[in-house]
Structure 1
Amino acid sequence: MADLPSNAVLAKLHFSGLSDAQIAKRYGVTRQAVNKRLGLMEISSMPEHRAKAHALVPWDVKTVQYGGGSHHTAYPLEGLKMYLRRLMGDPSLSKRQEADAGRFERKLLKNPGLVLDYDRDSEAGFYWRERTPQDGTLIIAWPLDKEKPAEDLELLEMPSGEKEVQAVPQ
């Protein structure tokens, strides 16, 4: 019996533009099985802005599937995604989501020397750390083993109106 890949791999295949049927054929399962798993991951019919924001997150974020807790709904991650959606002009953001995006942006502006980072093996997962020269002007710590996207990377740059971005010497 064939199995679907991990949630992270499945999400990447979905966001790369493969249809449920194409993914199903690749793994020898039914289209419905793919659709059901994507539905459980709350990404089955993700609107464009939400999908783009999700795709800009470079980390393999821990979900319940892996056991020992989950980070996929952590406040810093949700704030980042709402902030990105607001930058893209997503008209579907609720008032709460707009407020979350605003809080995230205010944190960036108040603390330009910090970047959001992720440690899959820690209990909290997401944390703010001091900016290094390697971070440049990105608002997140981009993993060394991940290729940066060709499109939309500017959304991850410090917002305009920021204080001077200073890296902490190593």
Structure 2
Amino acid sequence: MAVLPGNAELAKLFNQGLSDQQIANRYGTTRQAVNLRLQNMGLRRTPEMIVKVNDLVPWNVKSVRDEEGPGHHTAYPLETLKLYLRRRLGDPDMSKRQLADARRFLKRLRKHPALILDYDRSRSTGFFWRERTPEDCALILAWPAHVPKDRPHMDLLEPPPEDFDFDDGRD
């Protein structure tokens, strides 16, 4: 059975920026075992890829249940948008299920190019697809007028090139 290093060495690897998977590979164990141990040590991280993707989501998404209904932070359209963006950024750590969901989002974009994803926190489901308007420009989602469009990787919110595909042989 594989054994992880002591807390001091594990913290050192964590602070050097090694991913849970890289640490697991080094010690012949699972990513989940590394993650659990780091959590028990009080060490948590948001992967850089997730930070980049979250920065591209322009909406203030409702994250808790209130008198008007459930939160929307785990809604399928938002989750698949984030997975699509992770794949466009080249995230190598996506599961087969996550890749399949990202592909479904891409397929929907291609099948319905006149539709964009929008968000209204007062709706019970939050997210919905609607017809593109001239104000939407070429983005795949509705960008709120009050939110500046000066974020890195904004090009990923435009429709992908026709020859773009997620097929990388990892299926």
TM-score normalised by L of structure 2? 0.67
- Mapped to 2, the partners of 1:122 and 1:102 lie a distance apart of 26
- Mapped to 1, the partners of 2:139 and 2:53 lie a distance apart of 15
1:149 CA displacement: 2.6
Question: Residue 117 of structure 1 aligns to a residue in which SS?
Answer: strand
1:131 matched to 2:132? The reply is yes
- Mapped to 2, the partners of 1:115 and 1:150 lie a distance apart of 19
Please name the residue that 2:54 is paired with. 54
1:25-57 CA-partner distances (Å, limit 9, x unpaired): xxxxxxxxxxxxxx9xxxx51111111111100
Moved more, 67-76 or 152-161: 67-76
Please name the residue that 1:84 is paired with. 85
Please name the residue that 2:148 is paired with. 147
Please name the residue that 1:99 is paired with. 100
Matched positions, count: 120
- Mapped to 1, the partners of 2:48 and 2:150 lie a distance apart of 16
Partner amino acid, structure 2, of 1:116: L
CA pair 86-77 structure 1, distance change in 2 beyond 3 A: same
- Mapped to 2, the partners of 1:99 and 1:64 lie a distance apart of 27
Q: For the Cα contact (< 8 Å) 1:49–1:85, is it kept in 2? A: yes
Which sections of structure 1, spanning at least 5 residues, go unmatched? 1-38, 163-170
1:121 matched to 2:122? The reply is yes
- Mapped to 2, the partners of 1:127 and 1:89 lie a distance apart of 26
Q: For the Cα contact (< 8 Å) 1:56–1:149, is it kept in 2? A: no
Please name the residue that 1:75 is paired with. 76
Question: Residue 64 of structure 1 aligns to a residue in which SS?
Answer: coil
1:151 CA displacement: 1.6
User: Which stretches of structure 1, 4 residues or more, deviate above 3 A after TM superposition?
Assistant: none
1:64 CA displacement: 1.3
Q: For the Cα contact (< 8 Å) 2:80–2:101, is it kept in 1? A: yes
> Rg larger in 1 or in 2?
2
- Mapped to 1, the partners of 2:138 and 2:70 lie a distance apart of 31
Please name the residue that 1:156 is paired with. 157
Which sections of structure 2, spanning at least 5 residues, go unmatched? 1-38, 164-171
Q: For the Cα contact (< 8 Å) 1:79–1:104, is it kept in 2? A: yes
Please name the residue that 1:4 is paired with. none
Identity of aligned residues (%): 54
CA pair 150-73 structure 1, distance change in 2 beyond 3 A: closer
Q: For the Cα contact (< 8 Å) 2:56–2:151, is it kept in 1? A: no
Q: For the Cα contact (< 8 Å) 2:117–2:128, is it kept in 1? A: yes
Please name the residue that 1:64 is paired with. 64
